[in-house]
Each structure stands twice: as C-alpha cells, then as structure tokens.
Structure 1
Amino acid sequence: MSIFLLLIATLIVMFLIKDIRISLLTRPAFKIFKRILPPLSQTEREAMEAGDIWWDGELFKGSPDWQVLHNYPKPSLSEKENTFLNNQVNTLCNMLDDYKIVHETKDLPPEVWQYLKNEGFFSLIIPESYGGKDFSAIANSTIVSRIATRSLSAAVTVMVPNSLGPGELLMHYGTEEQKEYWLPQLANGSQVPCFALTGPEAGSDAGSIPDTGVVCEGEINGETVVGIKLNWSKRYITLAPVASVLGLAFKMYDPDGLLGEQEDIGITCALIPTDHKGVEIGERHNPMAMAFMNGTTYGKDVFIPLNWIIGGPDFAGKGWRMLVECLSAGRGISLPALATATGHVCSKMTGAYAYVRKQFGLSIGQFEGVQQSLARIGGFTYSLEAMRTMTAGAIDLKISPSVVTAIAKYHMTEMSRTIINDALDIHGGKGIQLGPNNYLGHAYMGMPISITVEGANILTRNLMIFGQGATRCHPYVLKEMFAANEDDFDKGLQTFDDLLTKHILFALTNAGAAIGHGLTQSIFCKAPVSGPTAKYYKQLTRMSRSLAICTDVAMLRLGGDLKRREMISARLGDVLSQLYIASSVLKRYEDEGRQQADLPFVHYSLEHCLYQIGQAFDGFFENFPSKIFSFILKRLVFPWGNHYQQVMDDTCKDVCTHMLQPGVMRNRLSHLCHEGDSGGMHIMENAFLAMHQCEALFSKLQLAKKEEKLEANLSMTEMIEQAKSIELITEHEAEKMLAANELRMSAISVDNFAKNAL
C-alpha cells in the first residue's frame, strides 16, 4: 500500500512541478515525437489546416455539447428560393424525358440547355451583384435533389457549375478584374464552365497531378510577356465537351527564376478560354446510364499570361488549398443531394408498389421479408434527408467542414446504393425492364458514378474520414504535430509540454468516463431532452468517450503507422461517421417539432447507427495488433459486452405502416419527388391512391372469398364482376374498383417495344 501511495505522490509531483515534468516526461516524449514524425511540407500543412472543424470536433472530444447541436439554425429556403423551386425547377422537370435523353439523343434537348442558361441554373451560387441567384447551400442542394428525381443527367449538368468549378473558385479567390469579367458571363449562360483536375494517373490523389506549367517568356497579342507554358492531359471532366472556359489545375515551376528564387511553386489553378490557341477539348466519355457531358481536354505547349491564374500571380502555388477547401463544400452539397433524391424516389415508389402489387391475394408489403427491406429504405431515407440538411446548413454558416463533408459523401452514397438495391429487389421484374416508365433503372446503373467521383469511396473511408479527422478534430494532436515541427527546439518543447499535459488529462478523463458509462449503461449520463430520444443522447455520449480513448491509444501504440493500417483506422472512422449520422437524425427530429409520426424512423435510424458503432468497435478490438491494449480497451468500452442489436422487427413494421399508406408522414419522407403529370411515377402514385380509396371494398371481397361466397382462382376483374352479380357490391362500387384495378395493372406493367425498335 505504501508503495502505491508513493507512486501516486511521485506522479502528482511530476505533473505539478513543471521543470521535473519537462525533464522526466516531456523532453523524452518530444524527442521521440520529432523523430517518428516526418517533417511537414508547406503543402501538407496547408492540407491539414484546410477546412473547418464543426460538430465533428464536438464528437471527437468525448463530451459533445448537445445544446450546441440544437442551437444550430434550422436550414430553410427563402421566399425567393421557394419560388424558384416551385416554378422554374418544376417547369424544368416537366421538360425532361430521361429515357429519351439517355437512350436516344444522348444529350439534353436544345430547349432544355437554353432554359437552363436563361433561368440562371448555372449561377445558383454566383452573387446577385454579378447577375447570379446567390442562393444558399440548402437551396442549391434542394434544387439538385428535385431535378435528380426526374433526371440524373440533368441534375449533374446543373450541379457541376455550382460546385467545384470556375464560379466558386473565382468568388473565393479571383481578382476583382477576373470577377467583373467572368462572373456575369457565367451567370447569364453565355459562358459554360468546366474544371479539369483529374487525369489518367491522378484521380483522388490530386497532389500527384503530372500536368505542368513552366514560367517563361512568350507572346500574347503581339507583345512579349512573362507567362506560363502549359502541358496537360485530363479526363472525366464534366461539361468539358460543351465548355467555353476551362478551369485548369497544374503544377507550376519557375526554373529560370523569373518570379523569384523558388523553382517548385506548387499546384496552381488558371482560367483559360477553350478557343485559346493550343487548347483541345470536345471528345466525350460515355458514363453509364447517364447522358451528361463528360470528356477529355489536352494541351501541349499552351502559353498563357500570368494574370490568367485564378487570383492573379499572388495565388501561384496556392491551388492545393483552394481545391481542398472548394472540394469540401462541393462534396457536402452535390453528391448528398443525388443520394437523397434516390432515397425519396425509392421510398415513395417502393411503398406504393409494395401496396399495389399482390401475391396470394395480399399486397406484398404485408410480407415480413419485404417489410425488412422496405423499412431499410424508409429508415435510410430519413437519415439521408437529415444529413443533407444538416451538412448544407453548416456550409450556409460559412463553415467548410472537410471531415463532415467526407462523411456525408461516403455514407450517403453508400446508403443510397443499399436503398436502390432494396428497391430493385422489391420491384423485381418491374425494376429491371428499362423503358420510359421505369423510374429505378437509371438510378441503379448510375449509382457507381456518385460512388466514384469527388474521391472514390474506398479512399474517402480509409484515408479521409479518420486520417484527416484524427488530426483535425482532435483537441491536441495537430497542435502537437506543429510544435514538433517548430524550428526553435526550446519554443517547441514549451508548447509541447503544455499540450501533452492537457492531452494526458484529456485521455484519463475519457477513459474514466468510458468505463463509468459502460458499467452503468449510461444511466447517469445527461441528456438535453426527455422522452423517447433521451436514451440515444446518453448512448452517443458514451460512444463519443469511447472513440476518444480508442483513438488516443491507437495513435500511441501505432504512431505514424496508423495511417497505413487502413482497416484499423477506418473502423474508428466508421464510429465517428455513425455518431454524425445519429446527430443529424436527432437534430432533424428536434428541428421539425418532434413529430410523433417520425418516431419509427428515428428509432430505426438510431438503432442502426448504434449497432454499426458496436460492430466497428468489435472489429477494431479483434484486429488491433496489441492484444493487451485490445483487452483493456474492450473492457473500457463494453465492460458487460456489446449489447447493441440490429433494428427490432417491430420498429421495421412501424416504419412500413407509414410507407404503405397515404399521409403526411409519407409525403414528408418523399417531399423532393417530382412526379410530373405523366410517366411511371405518376402512374404508380395514381394507382396507389386509387387502390387505397377502394381498400375497404377489396377487403370485403377477400372476406367473401374466404367465406366461399365468391369462387376461388378468379382474376381481380372476374371477382369484381361476380361480386356485383350477387349484389355484394353496387354497380358504382364495381366501376370504382375496376378503374382502380386498371390503374394497378398499368402501374405494375413494364414497357414493351416493337420487335426491331431496340
């Protein structure tokens, strides 16, 4: 006992007396940290500092302040934005025939292109002072989502100029002269932009682009000036085949010292008219199941003046940070919008189909196997809409949360992939036969495009979410890294000492809280609300503590090797991601007034998130290279075992109840859908409503059939006629039922083509 007390006293003295602490603890740790940490280049430092910390920082610190979450303003559309959505956007949707666009013309109709330009669809983010719409991020997202429920090709065409591209880069970094010249032309559609970043050997790793720009003297308009000689080869560039102005990312060099002593200037972005001498543009790619303009661009020894650099010569070499920050914002708006649109369409149409499609005399939505998939569609769609609004809301707060947008991009596209798979499973043959009335086929085939762009999902999960999150969101790690890279050893040591002390106390606090919450099942953990969602806040706080301590131990044990142990680190990233998804759902539930009808969807989403967190932690513990640390961490996080379960069957049934009947909740779940006044969605919805209006009558027939008042094995039409003949139903009721059944048969039918039509 005396030895234990002596040890405690020694530790207390070491922590309280700075000189002793620095000598015995900080200095050795600092030397080790400097030795194992490679020097940070300016590019690496800029990449780490790019973007903002937002709610992800709260989740990473182990003790999220839920009141902060509740206090974020609810994202909403202005009157001007709502008017545009209900008029111009709906008009555009009614102009779109997606089957014809994809399979016949391979392009948007000329009148649609002109409408997009005339009505400012390419200038949603450009300020009004330059002729743009100056819409919010949530409006941008909502507009793209609504269009995507009608045509993915049109949605992509609209979203690209309003995400990463010349417009956004000019607004953030352009000179006044560049803004005055280019933005009005982009706003009125007289200039169509594209941005060329990806090349044959540089996809997600934008820092490895081989395209070069060498500073030299050349001739512009008969005058010799200092400029840049460019060589590039780019592919997968959306709008390139029709672009009139090209945004280009390249590595800039100054071997002759014409601009200064630095030879390797770094990644730079420039704006080049596509009719400039030497620019080659126009060859198309053929993205599957879509017909948006996507293609290549090349240039060999193309000379441009220095003032074509976005931001002017002062921004030479600053392109990397520009790209990281703008990619972050685009990643949080465009792809989440497409993913959410898929959820809205699949929720509305699959619920309708599961009701009108019958097997063994019953709607297939009554079979529990179908209900399990249908509930997943509904639960995921609720989560998608929650994430879409919360993430876009962050961007409207003038925040660029790079980790949050990576989470949104990866998990929302993966969730929408699951949704479309489930929808196809339920629709069966109805879903796989392409034609004008198939509302699922193009979304299913186009899904890999969303998965691939803005950083392939494998990279996003394994490197960006935790790799960047662990350093950016952690309260101390990034600051410790900067201290270790300080040129002045003593100054760095003093800074490191202060950070290390706080870091140790932070880790001990989280470890104690984690085991305390685990032993008590978070009973004594505070929740900001009472009622049915209080338990989720408590469990999420507990898992936030667990993430914090597991991250610290993983960094301590694996050091710099952690970023190469992607299977290990990605599981911690999954925990962070599920914490964010769950937070979004709780935020939506609060923002929308705690709607009672929402609760089945909230329960589904939160139960799923907690189960995924438990699975991620189990995988982390089982594969952690140190069995001793693994054993300790597992007992800290789950002292009584992992009791998080998959979504309960009753929850699934409650979700399906709302999806299989008309009502406010079903409309709210799918409010982004544009059905139009024709086509497959319109037909299916009409059949769904008509069949519901006759539900009591059809139930009456089924009961009569069981009582043998009606013959068995009759078709629906024959059964209605026989029921009328025995006066079980009136003639008016029979007419109503026959009309509903005719709509039902039309809805479940598929498109047929003449023998040689295809």
Structure 2
Amino acid sequence: MLAFLFYVILFVVVIVGLILAVPLIRRHLVTNQILKIFRKMLPQISQTEQEALDAGTVWWEGDLFSGKPDWKKLLAYPKPQLTPEEQAFLDGPVEQLCVMLDEWKITHELKDLPPEVWQFVKEKGFFGLIIPKQYGGYGFSALAHSEVVMKIGSRSGTAAVTVMVPNSLGPAELLLHYGTENQKEYYLPRLAKGLEVPCFALTSPEAGSDAGAMPDFGVVCRGEYDGKADILGMRVTWEKRYITLGPVATILGLAFKLYDPDRLLGKEEDLGITLALIPTNTPGVNIGRRHYPLNGAFQNGPNSGKEVFIPMDWIIGGQEGVGQGWRMLMNCLSVGRAISLPATSVGAAKLAARTCGAYSRVRTQFKTPIGYFEGVEEALGRIGGNTYMMDAARVLTIAAVDLGEKPSVASAIVKYHLTERGRLAINDAMDIHGGKGICIGPRNYLGRTYQQIPVSITVEGANILTRNMIIFGQGALRCHPYLLKEVNAAHDKNQDSASLAFDEALIGHAKFILRNTANSFVYALFGNHIKDNAPENCTPETAAYYRQLARFSASFAFIADIGLIRLGGSLKRRERLSARLGDILSMLYLCSATLKRFEDDGRPNSDLPLLHWSMQDGIYRMQQAFDEFLANIPGHFTFVWLLRVLVFPLGKRCRPPLDVLAHEVARLMMAPGAVRDRLTAGIHVPTAEHEPMAELEQALQCVIECGAIEAKLREAVKLRKISDHGDGQIDQAVQLNVITEVEASLLNKLKDLRSKVIKVDDFKQDFEREAKSSNNESISATRSIDAVMSAKGAINANYVIDNDIVDETDDTTTTGKVKNSAKTTSRKKSNPVTEDTEIVETVK
C-alpha cells in the first residue's frame, strides 16, 4: 500500500514537473488559464491614468521594491555639488533678494511683492533658472534650483512661490521638452529676462484632480487672426482657478480637451488633452482677479475664456502636440514634486530648527531654559530628526534629477512626506514659541510660514490623493520587476505574443515571490547576522540600519505581492491599504536617503544623534504600517496569522527613539556650532540689527558666553551674598566682587537681548485704522516708484498698481488689486511665435 502511494505521488510530481518544465505545455495548460483570470482582475484604467502610470523613470525606488536593495549602488551615486557660478548666484542675487524681503509688509500691507522686488527678480534672471544659457537663462542644476527656492522660502513664502512657479511645471519646462524651435527661440529668452510672466492653468472648478473630467474644451475650426482670414486654429472655452501668477501673467499656459468635429486634422473627433500658450491680452481672455490663499500674498487667481480663437501654432509642439498634453504634463511633473515643494518644506523645517533651538536656550521659565524641560525636548527632537531626514531625501531626489532621471515615484514620496513633515516641524515650532508664535506682526518669523504651509500640502497633487492613490498605485506598476510586464501582456490583443510575454513574466514573478517569502522570514530571524545585507566598510552604528532596511524591503516585496494577489483590481479602491503599502515604500526611501547623507557628509560622529533619531523613527513607522496593513487585509484568520509569522516571526521588536536620544538632539540644536549649522545650512539667516532672527542669533551666542557668569550669580544667591531678584542684582554682584565690570556688561547685554527676543508686536486698539494708515503709506511709496518708472520710459507697463480699481465685470471697488491695463493700452496683434512684437516690460 505504501509502495503504491509512493508511486502515485511520484507520478503526480513527474506530470506536474513536465507541465511546468515544458514551455509549450505550460502555456496551454497553465499560463493561458491564469491570463484569462488576470485579465478579469485588472481594474479599468483611463487614458489619463495610463499616461500618468507610464510617466517618468524608475530609479532607486525600484531597488527598494525588488526586496534586495543594492547598497553599493546607492552609495555610488555622486553627491550633487553646486558649481562656482551657482554658489555665486546664491551668495549674491539670492542673498540680496532675501535682504529686500519683508514678509509682514508683503502679506499684511501690500498683499503683493513690492514693485522693486518684482523688477529685481526679473532683471537678475530668477525666472530663467532652468532655461539653458543659449536662450538667455542660467541653465542651473536641479540642486541649484532647489537651493535657491529653499533659501528664499525660509525668508518669504510669497517670494518663493513667485520664483519657483516659472521654473516649475509651466511654459518654460514644457517648451524645453516639447516646444517647436520657433516657440523656444521666441518665448524662452523673453521668459528668462522676465519680459514675459508665465502661468499655467490646469485645475478646473468641477474636475479638480480628475483630469479626465476636465470640462474645458477647444474646437478645431478656421477663423480670423491678425487681419488674416481662413487661419487654421481652434475656439477654446475654459474656466480655471487656483492659477499661481495668473493675475499678473502675460502668457497663459492652458490645458483643455480638443475636438475636431469637421475632421480638419484627420479622422478622429476626440483629439485628447492639449496644451497651448496664449498671450493674456488676446481678445476674450479674462484674467486679473485674485484668490487669497491663507494670508499668502503671492499672485493667484481664476481665469476664463469663451470661444477664444487661437491659431494652431500656439499649441505647445505645434500641430504634432495635439492630444499629447497629459503625457507632457506627467513627464514634467517631477520638477514641481521633486524640487520646488520639497525645497520650500525643507526651508520651513530648517527655519523651525534654527529658531527653536536658539529660542529654547534663550527663553527661560522657572530660571531654566525652556529647552531643558522634557516636553520641549521631545518637540525639539522631532524637529531636528525630521529636518535631518527631510534634507537627506531632498538631496537624494535632486541627485536623480541631475543624473537625467524623472523619478515619478520618488518625487511623489518626497512631495507627500516632506510637506507633511514640514507641517509637523512648524506645528512643533509654534508650540515651543507659545504666545510669541501666535501673535502675528513684524517680529513673528514663524506665523506666516505656519499659515501658508497648507498651500504646499494642497498643490501638485493633494497629499491625501498622493498618499492613498499615487505612491503605491504608481509604484507597484513602475517599480515591480514583473507586474508591468504582466499588465502589458494582458493588454496585448495578439494571443500568441501575449501568451509568450505573460508566461515569461509569470515564471519570473513566481520565483520572485518565493525568494521574498523566504527572505522575509529568514531576515526577520537572522538578518542582523547576514553581512551581505549591509555594504562593506560601513560603520557599526549604521550596519544594523542597513540590515533592518534589507529585511523590511524583502517583507515589503512579499506583502505587496500578496496584497495584489488577494485584492486584485479592488486594491485601487482600497485606498487605506494602498496608502499603508505606500508608507512602507516611502519609509524605505527616506531611511536609505538618510544613510546616504551620513556617508556623503563624511560620517561625522557629532551627527550620530540626528542619524539615530531619524532612522529609529522611520523604521518604527515602517513597522507600524506593516502592522496596520496586516490588521486590515481581508482574509481568514489562518491566512492573516501566516502572513504575520512570515513578517514578524519574533513579534514587533522595533521601538521609537528613546527619550535620551531626543535629549541629545535637543542639546545639539541649542548650541551654536557645526552640527546646528549643517542641519540648517542653506537658509537665510539675517544679520541686520533690526531683524528679529538676527537678535535671536546674538542672544544665543550671548547666553552661551554668559553661562559661567550666570553660574557665579546662582552660587552667590545660594550663599545669600546677593539678592535673589531685582534690577539691582547685577550691580550688587559687581560691588561684592562676585563678577567683574566686563561680566556685568555682558549680562546686561544678554538681558536686553532676551527682552527683544521674547517681545511680541502690539498695535493700536483700532486695527483697521492702523491698517489703513500703513496701507496709505505703502500706496504712496508705490506710486512714487511708478512715477520713477514712468520717467524712465516704463510707461508701457502691462500691469499698473492702483489702490482703488473698479473691475469692469463687477461694480464693486476692490483695494490693492492688480489691474490689467491691456484693456487701455494698445499692443500690436501678431503671431507671438513667428513675428516680432513690441517688448512690453512688466512692473508687476
């Protein structure tokens, strides 16, 4: 009986082995059946979703998705460096611009950048950072672009947005990649010199993030333009909102759906999403009104047009660009996501770190610096650790862009996590500053950043959307070594080629799952002893982190495949499960960036508390994301239990950073020195005497110098040689030779600086009257500047500043808005691409 059973089993094994080993038999009996099931499981994907999935390139995040990251490859990526020209621009024009900026006046009084600042950013080429030198721009690297935006952002959110938008997703970026030579030669020099102010209009009121539902449309037709009849073009109707720089733009980038009912371009009627560049003085373009985003004074507003006729050659890329708009946008989106928004968020976090460290040491309560209290230490630890990791991720992603990558998944990771951690850092900073943080005024260096941080959360893909749908949704298809191949095979209508491609991918996928299943379990048990999971010559402090990341990378690859198999196409709708898988991938990316930063910085021992806090926090968050995913994945108890055993055979053993580590980070932040300077490098630190941050820096230096002197006073009080309080304490200490005259002078200086540091702004009881008074002063100054500009021949300015302007479409009067004077000044109508036009300088 046993012999018979043995032969039966052997026969089954041989038959199964033959089926799996012989490709032809396997495809007919196994692969084709699985392919049918797979096709039914696939969710419906719209054209815009498909183009978004196909956009960009896969970089280091692909290694993390493989389950076996190559640390040697990561550490071999060169650390991005600024060129001498880029550093000179940061030290020169960028520093000059920061000195010119007064965010209180900008946001509270002018509701805009001052005219002299607008003129400065144009004359110094701030709108041409990414435009190549051959077109009159700087052709800066992604690193330089990021450093410029970060530095300006640490001083003024309004100015940072104004500078970053022309250098982000917009006309210049799109023209560089997809414009015709005529379009490039005409527009790029004008954009670089600030002769054109660009904006890009994508968001429609009802469509929001659903580009497929965009109601804006154009109809191909023939019409009249510039006195010429029978011009091939289109009549475009649109309504857009949230368009940054829109109210002052001279050139409008526009996204709309294009239709060709008369088949003037071919056989298709629905031509797809198309992008065009439209001068804002084109008849029918309505532009100039403003939104007011959370006390932000950057120019932002709605625009619209109804059946506006534009020539065909205004389409970006000319007629060949018809229907290619969404692909263009998705391929260029990495600039905004990878560079601009992470830069402003890191600038905010560095501002929080620098000011909170100093304020916590200078400000005292109960005769003790508030930074010595454990509650404040906890917040300082978070600020310091988050800032260290954020900057590491910013630089690593920038390195990818400078290497020629368009890291779509990595850019989504840094967009979401850096803006969220920036918000957390500013929230902690506000808590530490207390009343000083919430009383808005010229002395408040945090308030406006706190108010404006939700702007970065919302734009370039709202964070809820980015976390729940994009990071893993796009990451699974783009980064997985076999899934995209299987999807492409399933979409192949040729059954033979589909079967061959699917079979090859399926076999590789099966081996991939088996390897990661085993590695997840083995690494969890013995990973700390597997030397290959850490790079050679790494320090003992970092080796354990590399091994933990290798272990979690294998577990992530395993659990992601299980989730895809178990949930199939429904995973697209199970957003919270998708978000948790995205969180794991994100933490792997942020932690690996942090380790690379430590290596690139030369492994400074003094930075180890920051490294340890960042890594332990990131790994703990990763563990929690695993736990939450396993707690919510649908399935039988046995199935979920088995998954937990394979991921956590020894239980959840990772812990968040200990209190002693937060204590070490806090002390580093409260002490002037190399660590604090490295942590906050690249932001603007004012030096003028009247600047609140400059006074804070002086107070920190002074309190360190007075440490030993204050210790003498405390000892004298303890021995009852001098009184415990009172204005005369310092004089009394001098008289009794407890301290010297020089030491007394230093203490008095510290007393004065402390008073300035904790001081908050106050105003007249009638805020409105004071606001009107301040506004009148600023308007007078503005009009004086306008008079000077007119005297210099700038009378042809496309935009003028006026205090009381009546909008033609509304009989209400608005204050301090921008009036489009194109309605009252003439401009030669011509094709802006093929003919020369008069140069119109823009004051604003």
1:340 aligns with one of 346, 371, 381: 346
Q: How far did 1:530 drift? A: 3.5
- After the TM superposition, which residues 100-179 of structure 1 pair with which residues of structure 2 at under 5 Å, given as runs? 100-179=105-184
Q: Identify unmatched segments of 5+ residues in structure 2.
A: 772-844
Per the alignment, in what secondary structure is the counterpart of residue 302 of structure 1? strand
- Name the CA distance, whole Å, in 1 between partners of 2:738 and 2:414: 55
Deviations along 1:316-371, one digit per CA (max 9) or x if unpaired, are 00001111111222211110011000111111100000001111111111111110
Matched, 1:570 2:575: no
Select 2:589's aligned residue among 580, 590, 603: 580
1:562: how far off? 0.4
Distance 1:94 1:532, change over 3 A: same
Match of residue 303, structure 1, among 290, 295, 309: 309
Matching residue of 1:681? 693
2:614 to 576, 584, 605: 605
**Equivalent position of 1:444 in the other structure:** 450
Distance 1:338 1:132 in 2: 22
Residue in 1 that maps onto 2:759: 749
Which of 715, 718, 721 aligns to 1:706? It is 718
1:425 equivalent in structure 2: 431
Amino acid at match of 1:357: R
Q: Supply the AA of the counterpart residue of 2:644.
A: K
Please tell me whether residue 244 in structure 1 is matched to residue 250 in structure 2: yes
SS at match of 1:437: coil
SS in 2 for 1:752: coil
**8 Å contact kept, 1:394–1:401:** yes
Cα pair 2:218 2:257 within 8 Å, conserved: yes
| Paired letter, 2:522 | G
Q: Deviations over 1:125-154 (max 9, x none)?
A: 000000001111110110011011111000
Which amino acid in structure 2 is aligned with residue 64 of structure 1?
Answer: P
Aligned to 1:259: 265
Deviates more, 1:204-213 or 1:506-515: 204-213
| Mean Cα deviation higher: 120-129 or 628-637 | 628-637
Q: CA deviation at 1:202?
A: 2.3
Q: 1:190-589 residue pairs with structure 2 within 5 A?
A: 190-221=195-226, 222-526=228-532, 527-528=534-535, 529-589=538-598
- Whether the aligned pair in 1 keeps the contact of 2:51 and 2:330 (CA below 8 Å) is no
Task: Check whether the contact 1:269–1:309 (CA below 8 A) recurs between aligned residues.
Answer: yes
**What secondary structure, in the 3-state scheme, does the structure 1 residue paired with 2:255 have?**
strand
Q: Distance in 2 between matches of 1:292 and 1:502?
A: 52
Give the aligned partner of residue 725 of structure 1.
735
Counterpart in the other structure of 1:645: 655
Query: What pairs with 1:605-624 in structure 2 (closer than 5 Å)?
Result: 605-624=614-633
Where does residue 809 of structure 2 map in the other structure?
none
Instruction: Report sequence identity in percent.
Output: 51
Larger Rg: 2
Q: Structure 1: how far apart are the matches of 2:366 and 2:529?
A: 48
Residues in 2 aligned to 1:275 and 1:569: alpha-carbon distance in whole angstroms? 46
Q: Which amino acid aligns with 1:48?
A: L
Cα deviation for residue 711 of structure 1 reads 2.7
Q: Deviations over 1:717-754 (max 9, x none)?
A: 43323322221101121111111111111111111223
Residue 706 of structure 2 corresponds to residue 694 of structure 1: yes
Q: Give distance in 2, aligned partners of 1:219 and 1:668.
A: 60
Q: Tell me, in whole angstroms, the C-alpha distance in 2 between the residues paired with 1:38 and 1:737.
A: 71
In the aligned structure 2, how far is the partner of 1:228 from the partner of 1:91? Answer: 45
CA distance in 2, matches of 1:417, 1:10: 60
Q: Which amino acid in structure 2 is aligned with residue 671 of structure 1?
A: A
Is 480-489 or 34-43 further displaced after alignment? Answer: 34-43
* Conserved 8 A contact 1:215-1:229: yes
Q: 2:522, 2:669 → 1: CA distance?
A: 40
1:283 alignment partner, SS class: coil
Q: Which runs of 4+ in 1 moved over 6 A?
A: 3-7
* Displacement after TM superposition at 1:708 (Å): 3.2
* 2:838 alignment counterpart: none
CA contact (8 A) 1:40 1:485 kept: no
- Structure 1 residue 203 displacement after superposition: 2.2
Residues 204 and 710 of structure 1: CA distance in aligned 2, closer, same or farther (over 3 Å) = farther
Match of 1:34 in 2: 39
Partners of 2:312 and 2:471 in 1: CA distance: 36
Residues 210-248 of structure 1: per-residue CA shift (max 9 Å, x gap): 100111111122221221110000000000110000000
Mapped pair 1:670 → 2:675: no
Change (3 A) 1:11 1:686: farther
Partner residue in 1 for 2:103: 98
| Cα RMSD for the two superposed structures | 1.4
Quote the Cα distance in structure 2 between the aligned partners of 1:691 and 1:409: 38
- Which of 55-64 and 5-14 deviates more? 5-14
Aligned to 1:186: 191
The question of whether the paired residues in 2 share the 8 Å contact of 1:517 and 1:525 is answered with no
Going from structure 1 to structure 2, the CA distance change for 1:43 and 1:156 (only over 3 Å counts) comes to closer
CA contact (8 A) 1:680 1:747 kept: yes
Return the alpha-carbon distance in structure 1 between the equivalents of residues 103 and 682 of structure 2. 17
CA distance in 2, matches of 1:234, 1:218: 24
| Pairwise CA distance, 1:634 | 1.1
**Alpha-carbon contact 1:267-1:318 (below 8 Å) kept:** yes
Matched, 1:656 2:666: yes
Please say if residues 48 and 211 of structure 2, whose CA atoms lie closer than 8 Å, have aligned partners that are also in contact.
Answer: no
Shift of 1:9: 5.2
Determine the C-alpha separation between the residues in 1 that align with 2:56 and 2:289. Answer: 34
After superposition, what is the alpha-carbon deviation per residue over 1:374-412, rounded to whole angstroms, capped at 9, x for unaligned? Answer: 010000011111111111111111111111000001000
Q: Is the 8 A contact 1:578 1:610 kept in 2?
A: yes
Which whole-Å CA distance do the structure 1 matches of 2:422 and 2:412 have between them? 15
CA distance in 2, matches of 1:311, 1:504: 44
SS of equivalent residue, structure 1 residue 540: helix
For residues 673-730 of structure 1, what are the alpha-carbon distances to aligned partners after superposition, in whole Å with 9 as ceiling and x for unaligned? 2122132111111111111111111122223323333333x14x43323322221101
- AA matched with 1:747: V
TM-score using structure 1 length: 0.98
Counterpart of 2:337 in structure 1: which amino acid?
Answer: R
Q: Which one-letter code corresponds to 2:579 in the other structure? A: A
Q: Match of 1:183, as an amino acid?
A: L
For residue 10 of structure 1, report the CA deviation from its aligned partner.
5.2
The answer for the alignment partner of 2:803 in structure 1 is: none
- State the shift of 1:43 in Å: 4.2
Q: What amino acid does structure 2 have at the position aligned with 1:680?
A: P
- Asked if 2 retains the 8 angstrom alpha-carbon contact of 1:355 and 1:365, the reply is yes
Q: 2:208, 2:146 → 1: CA distance?
A: 25
Instruction: Determine if contact 1:238/1:295 at 8 Å carries over to the other structure.
Output: yes
CA 1:217/1:638 → structure 2, altered by over 3 Å: closer, same or farther?
same
Q: Which amino acid aligns with 1:246?
A: L
State the AA in 1 paired with 2:729: M
Name the CA distance, whole Å, in 2 between partners of 1:220 and 1:247.
19
